[in-house]
Amino acid sequence: MGIRLQDMVVHAKHIMQLRRHAATSSKNQIRCSSSGISGVDDVPKGHFAIYVGVEEEKKERFVVPISYLKQPMFQDLLLKAADEFGFDQMGGITLPCGVEEFTSLASRLN
């Protein structure tokens, strides 16, 4: 049973609605923060937080622009996340790739 891209987009839009009241900074760069739990207040308007890493204790939190949702390479990672973790993830969206792989992809998207 596969996850449809449309379902991922709907889920991502819902996340964006929840984060609409976040801080208003509009830098178009990814930001990495510690893997500790952070509140929605440090996510600027037009961005969302994700977690990246294959090992639980080595995950890093990134704040990325919403524009990434339109990028096919990022959509592929979201589909992999849905296949691996489903839609009922606790916390935030976790992408099943290494930090180096993600930062390389992010540099190509910027």
Average pLDDT, the chain: 75
What does the H/E/C string look like for the chain?
CCCCHHHHHHHHHHHHHHCCCCCCCCCCCCEEECCCCCCHHHCCCCEEEEEECCCHHHCEEEEEEHHHHHCHHHHHHHHHHHHHHCCCCCCCEEECCCHHHHHHHHHHHC
Residue 65's pLDDT band (boundaries 50, 70, 90)? very high
Q: What pLDDT shows up at residue 42? A: 81
Residue 70 has pLDDT above 80, yes or no: yes
C-beta of residue 43 within 8 angstroms of C-beta of residue 19: yes
